[in-house]
Amino acid sequence: MPSIERAGCRIHFEDVGDGPVLVLGHSFLCSGEMWAPQVAALSPRYRLINIDWPGHGHSGPVTRPFSLEDLADHVIALLDELGIERVVWAGLSIGGMVALRGALARPDRVDGLVLLDTTAGAETLVPKIKFRLMGVMARLFGVGPLMPSILPLMFGPTTRAVRGDLVAAWRSRFAATDIPSMLLTLDALMARRSLLPRLATLDMPALVMVGEEDAALPPENARAIAAGLPRATLETVPRAGHLTTLEQPDVVNGAMSAFLAKIYSPTA
């Protein structure tokens, strides 16, 4: 499996397809497998660089504190190593936060943004307290006892009611997360600063999507991003929670395909 060494961690990525490049960044507690429906749909026309964040998926464990800006730097270093100059950068949840930071750091490298179920704001006090308590519980007892709290944050009520197979499969993946890596990633999420005042500087096309049932980062976060970006389109995904790529893949695939076609085939 291809990987890159960064800050003492071996970071795994998938490199599939050919054409204009799309970077994919997944959600907290997930892996690049979260993008499997999009990889299948888009790889015939695009080259997809699908990254497992440190401590997630096939990447190595996290052994030192890091920031979301560090993750953006890791992606840019990977693109440099692969000889890739320009990309559309897509991300869901923490992946979207990293995409925004990458675009702010190197706008000359980003043709467009696809931001799903994410936020440009800082974490607020009540969620900080809640997630800190969950972190203590995970350190003491593992992730398993937290599943009654985690699953409603990741999947909407519609998915939990009608897609038990999907929820069960990802429940097992969430439970297998490396606890020290999870806690350091949680620290990075809690320490993030608001980017809302800086969004107006990002003058590239952006597709902002959010599940109408997203309880982790509710739709008002997506609306704030779309309002702040000069060239954003906002789409709400019906009957989906936080992991829209898995819950409503056909809707997400269609929106992403149309967005990419406008960027790379302007006359289409």
What CATH number is associated with residue 150?
Answer: 3.40.50.1820
Say what the pLDDT of residue 137 is: 84
Q: How many CA atoms lie within 13 A of 228 on its CB side?
A: 20
Give residue 55's domain range.
3-264
Sign of the alpha-carbon torsion through 60, 153, 134, 189: positive
- Rounded distance, CA 241 to CA 218, Å? 9
**DSSP SS3 for 234:** strand
pLDDT in tens, the chain (268 residues): 699 998 788 999 999 999 999 999 999 999 999 999 999 999 999 999 999 999 999 999 999 999 999 999 999 999 999 999 999 999 999 999 999 999 999 999 999 999 999 999 999 888 788 888 888 888 888 888 889 999 999 999 999 999 999 999 999 999 898 999 999 999 999 999 999 999 999 999 999 999 999 999 999 999 999 999 999 999 999 999 999 999 999 999 999 999 999 999 854 4
Say what the pLDDT of residue 131 is: 81
Say what the pLDDT of residue 266 is: 59
Measured CA distances, 152 to 52, 147, 217, 242 (Å)? 23, 9, 12, 9
- Residue 98 makes CB contacts below 8 A (sequence gap 6+) with 25, 68, 71, 72, 75, 91
Q: Which residue has the tokens 């992403």?
A: 256
- Rounded distance, CA 161 to CA 110, Å? 38
Measured N-to-C along each axis, helices 125-141 and 179-190 cross at an angle, to the nearest 10 degrees, of 170
Say what the pLDDT of residue 6 is: 87
Measured N-to-C along each axis, helices 68-82 and 179-190 cross at an angle, to the nearest 10 degrees, of 110
Say what the pLDDT of residue 181 is: 94
- Residue 174 makes CB contacts below 8 A (sequence gap 6+) with 29, 30, 143, 147, 150, 154
Q: What is the CA radius of gyration of the chain?
A: 17
Q: How many domains does the chain have?
A: 1
Neighbour-count burial of 176, counting CB atoms closer than 10 A to its CB (0-12 exposed, 13-18 middle, 19+ buried)? exposed
Q: Which residue has the tokens 């704001």?
A: 121
Say what the pLDDT of residue 97 is: 98
